[in-house]
Amino acid sequence: MSAAEHRHRLVSLALPVYFELLAGVMAGIINMVWVARLGGQAVAAVAVATNVENLLLGVILVAGSGTTVLAARARGAGDPVALRSAVRGGWALWALVTPVVAIGGYLCREPLAQLVLGGDEGRSLALATGYFSIALPGIAVFFATNVVDGVLKGAGDTRTPMKLSLLANGLILVLDPLLILGLGLGVRGAAISTVLGRTAALGCGFLTLLRSGALPQTGGGTSFRIKELGTDARRTASTGLPMSADFVVRMAGALALVAVVARVGVSDVAAYGIAAKAMYVATMAFYAVRQAAAIHTAHQLGAGHDERRTIGRQALLLAGTLGLAAALALLATGPWIMRIFGAGGEVAEAGTLYLRCVGPYLVLLACFIALGGVFEGSGGSPALARITSCGVALQLALAYPLSGWGLPGICAAMALSMALQCGAVARTYRHTKQPGTAGV
């Protein structure tokens, strides 16, 4: 394939993924818009609670990403046996992980809320605990949806996950005002509407898998032993674990950063939470390019074509352009973004300043995430996870002293850390094996 053909394929895969991810982000934004009417403490509680959910997404990425990559390789190779193995492995991991997270999270909801709020014993703690009491058991639905998406994307279908996400988002849009304000459920209403919307989308997802034949047929006389199921699960886990670790470390760093921001003030925590939601509109575009690069890379390798360097260059071009556009947009529209969320006073001022300072970090993040897709699709994610772990540790080490400058200091720590991560991943990428050899 030519560079233009690779770029076209990446765009065709990434566009539906972006709208799928954006719909999920919009659900969080809709929640924040309605919760903002309850005051700054409610905003802070929901902001940190949804950051925890983002962290937990990284846990199920072991199953979702592993299924996507293995299914894409099987599709490229035309191997239905490998495809069945990938699907079984994804669901086996879901069954293992979900009870631990859902039940354990519910039992530890109050200590967890206290931890992410930096020890705050005020009203925000009670609000965050109430949100967790609904959202953490409901994480089972979120995890199952991720596995369904992994199966579909591995089969080359990124449009159906987009439609399912839009369905969930539409239901949340209708239910939020009814539950949060109409029935007076507050932040619990936001959690309930999110779980209900996702549950409806998951049901439609299962129906789609059954009707479309995306799940491979095993035949009436085919069976598999528990030992084989364990092998499938281990294969999926070994493929998805590095990507999961990369995401978990990055989200854990973002969560720890909230505690650092809390040293500056409650208004800054609320501003940071709102600004982070707005930034997701941009960063989800970067992750869409990453998923497209992972799917396309895995499919090409499965078909026996090693074009990782060309795919990487095209992914970098797309994401870098998106990152620059996002930085300029946030620079120009910061005050309007804060008004959309209903923020005013000190919260609006702090959030606007943050959005105007975060541009360099966004451009660097776009480049890092894009190249990560090539590593993920070709089995090179362990190197990426190591770079991310070191980068996040450095970010927190820098953020603590620089927080004395307020949110601009936080932005500086993020940009410096990401610059070093980009340098490390570029060096690793330059050592990518030439076509015809193994490894990254």
DSSP string computed for 251-297: HHHHHHHHHHHHTT-HHHHHHHHHHHHHHHHHHHHHHHHHHHHHHHH
Residue 318, CA distances (Å) to 79, 156, 328 in order: 31, 20, 16
Contact 86, 312 (CB under 8 A): no
Range of the domain at 410: 3-430
Contact 324, 354 (CB under 8 A): no
Question: Does any domain span residue 440?
Answer: no
Q: Which of 164-178, 217-231, 329-343 shows the lowest mean pLDDT across its residues?
A: 217-231
Q: Which of 45-59, 159-173, 228-242 shows the lowest mean pLDDT across its residues?
A: 45-59
**Per-residue pLDDT at 191 exceeds 50:** yes
Length of the chain: 440
Question: Does any domain span residue 439?
Answer: no
Question: Does any domain span residue 435?
Answer: no
**Per-residue pLDDT at 171 exceeds 60:** yes
Q: What is the pLDDT of residue 254?
A: 76
Residues sharing a CB contact under 8 Å with residue 13, sequence separation 6 or more, in sequence order: 156, 158, 291, 292, 295, 296
Question: Does any domain span residue 436?
Answer: no
Question: Does any domain span residue 368?
Answer: yes
Q: What is the DSSP string of 82-104?
A: HHHHHHHHHHHHHHHHHHHHHHH
Question: Does any domain span residue 33?
Answer: yes
**Rounded-to-integer distance, Cα 221 and Cα 32, Å:** 51
Task: Tell me which residue of 153, 411, 397 sits closest to 299, measured CA to CA.
Answer: 153
Number of domains in the chain: 1
Q: Which of 103-107, 172-176, 208-212 shows the lowest mean pLDDT across its residues?
A: 208-212
Q: How confident is the model over 357-372, as a mean pLDDT?
A: 90
Q: What is the pLDDT of residue 203?
A: 92
Question: Does any domain span residue 137?
Answer: yes
